[in-house]
Amino acid sequence: MESTQKNEQTTPNTAHGYIKAKDKEKIQNRLRRIEGQVRGIQRMVDEEAYCVAVLTQIGSVVSALEKVGTILLKDHVEHCVRESIEKGEGADETIEELIDAVERFLRV
């Protein structure tokens, strides 16, 4: 766990995979859509909407967040992990960090 915390402290000059303009824009658009969905759920609760309808919307938000997480995880593997392994710099720590991230993402 120590190495995970150390690796998460990146330098300002380190670019992440999702920084590519189209990937970042895609993620931002998805997050904005999710934000709107959450506001919609808040309105539903304010208006005392039917419980099942609220739960259905919550399920949609959870799925949408999982999709964003999947995109970020894929970008992390394709960019950050690959780069670390290719350079031979901290490959073991990067792999450990990846395993920890996947476990957190999957709530294992």
Distance between CA 37 and CA 22 in Å, rounded?
Answer: 23
- Specify whether the CB–CB gap between 100 and 76 falls below 8 A: no
- Specify whether the CB–CB gap between 10 and 19 falls below 8 A: no
Buried b (16+ CB within 10 A) or exposed e, 46-70: eeeeeeeebeebeeebeebeeebee
What secondary structure does DSSP assign to 1-26, as a single string?
Answer: -HHHHHHHS--TTPPPGGGSHHHHHH
Locate 74 and state its tokens.
């894929």
Tally of residues, the chain: 108
Per-residue pLDDT tens over the stretch 17-70: 666 667 788 899 999 999 999 999 999 999 999 999 999 999 999 999 999 999
Residues with Cβ within 8 Å of residue 1, at least 6 apart in sequence: 100
Per-residue pLDDT tens over the stretch 64-96: 999 999 999 998 898 888 888 888 888 889 999
